[in-house]
Copies of this chain bind each other. A is one copy, B any other.
Amino acid sequence: MIKVPDISKRAQTAPSSPVRKLVPLAEKTKQKGIKIYHINIGDPDFEAPAQIQKDLKEFAKTQKRIPYTSSKGLKETIVAWKKYYKDIGIDINEEDIVISAGGGEGLIITFATVLDPSDEFIVFEPFYANYASFGNIVSGKMVSVPLDRENGYHMPKDEDIISRITKKTKAICLINPNNPTGTVFTPKEVERVIKLAVKHNLFLISDETYMGMVFDGKECKSVLHLANDKEKQNIIIVDSVSKKLNMCGARVGAIISKNKEVMDAVFRFAQGRLSVPYIEQVIVCNALSDCLPYISWLTKEYQKRRNSFIATLEKKLNLKIPTPEGAFYAMVKLPVDDTEKFAKWLLTDFSDKEETVMVAPGGGFYENPVKGKQEIRVAYVLNEKDLSRAAELLAFAVKEYNKK
């Protein structure tokens, strides 16, 4: 008998991304010549900002070496993040920032910094699915507090959060504007979470990847806008250029905290993986240093897309979707038995005029996947014409699927 060592328990239980696990099926679909409208993933169809394109050309023309940078990140990139925060009204120092390879690596390092094995962290459900993955890598335990769909996925009462805090709880993880729901938590709601974290001696990990991308003039504040100096010691922000500058494939993010002990540990973890990619750290600097007009333009585009896409979906499918207030996501409840099966079927069995649509099944955004069995997450990241076609395909597919 061939004996092969077992992979770790954490590897055995590592979750698949609901957004990405169907990619191998999608590749086969494309090989059959079928076009896929991707509303499964937050990978917008916009070009990178003109400034980025210009600075990349300049880099390519003038730089002949692609060396490591400091593990903290390039000084210029750190200064650019500092400037962005200053522009939104928050003063941070260079030593409060370490550059990460996107928000993903930022969260892994942050989780490693605050969690020991079997320590717990709280997320709001439906949650950004990769928090489960990052928690798993460091053997932490994710505990979820349900958000109420009828309440637009807004913040539950303090008691509902407190009831999930145990002696093992080390952190609350907040993402605002929210992925996957598109909800924008109000400053009052965020303040409640800050007070609660501080009162219970927890870290507050704030994922601000979508900060600034808010519709209908709603107010949205960073945790660093709202916390006082003492409260700031409990706060760690994870940020990224992926969505703000429309360059998901750049992998430039930031870990930000006023807590020196935290930043010292973050820096030591960062030393292990040596460096964030050099080219992107260079080319984001100018754009990031003056990005508010761009984010403002971008948000208007997403608001237009939201307006038409959500309205079309509601009309064609005769259903009600909680209005997304920011980012570019919505959780949509479909009249199908099981969105996991449905999402696969869209790729393997459905097509209309050689076209289909790809969605993220809802189960992966819940601790108990059954709770998301009728939901999908959609990302309205395509142009209006493509989104209209995606909505049409989705509505048609639901009907065909239910005929089976």
Write the residues of chain A forming the contact surface with B, with a CB cutoff of 8 angstroms: 2-5, 7-12, 14-17, 19-21, 23, 41, 43, 45-48, 52-53, 56-57, 59-61, 64-71, 101-102, 104-105, 108, 112-117, 119, 130, 133-134, 136-139, 170-171, 201-203, 230, 233-234, 246-251, 259, 261-262, 265, 268-269, 271-280
Residue contact B170 to A8, C-beta cutoff 8 Å: yes
Residue contact B47 to A10, C-beta cutoff 8 Å: no
- Known contacts A15-B268, A138-B137, A249-B278; A273/B102 CB under 8 A: yes
Q: Which 9 A-B pairs have the closest CB atoms?
A: A249-B278, A133-B272, A104-B273, A11-B265, A17-B271, A66-B247, A117-B117, A60-B60, A47-B64
Cβ of A94 to closest chain B Cβ, rounded Å: 11
Q: Which residues of B contact A248 (CB under 8 A)?
A: 66-68, 274-275
Residue contact B249 to A69, C-beta cutoff 8 Å: yes
Q: Which residues of B contact A259 (CB under 8 A)?
A: 4
Residue contact B67 to A249, C-beta cutoff 8 Å: yes
Cβ of A53 to closest chain B Cβ, rounded Å: 6
- Known contacts A7-B114, A133-B268, A279-B280; A71/B20 CB under 8 A: yes
Q: Which residues of B contact A56 (CB under 8 A)?
A: 59-60, 279
Contact of A2 among B230, B261, B274 (CB under 8 A): B230
Q: Which residues of B contact A64 (CB under 8 A)?
A: 47-48, 53
Residue contact B272 to A134, C-beta cutoff 8 Å: yes
Contact of A116 among B53, B102, B139 (CB under 8 A): B139
Residue contact B11 to A114, C-beta cutoff 8 Å: yes
Cβ of A68 to closest chain B Cβ, rounded Å: 5
Q: Please give 4 more A-B residue pairs, beta carbons under 8 A apart, in addition to A11-B113, A23-B70, A251-B277.
A: A7-B113, A15-B268, A130-B274, A250-B278
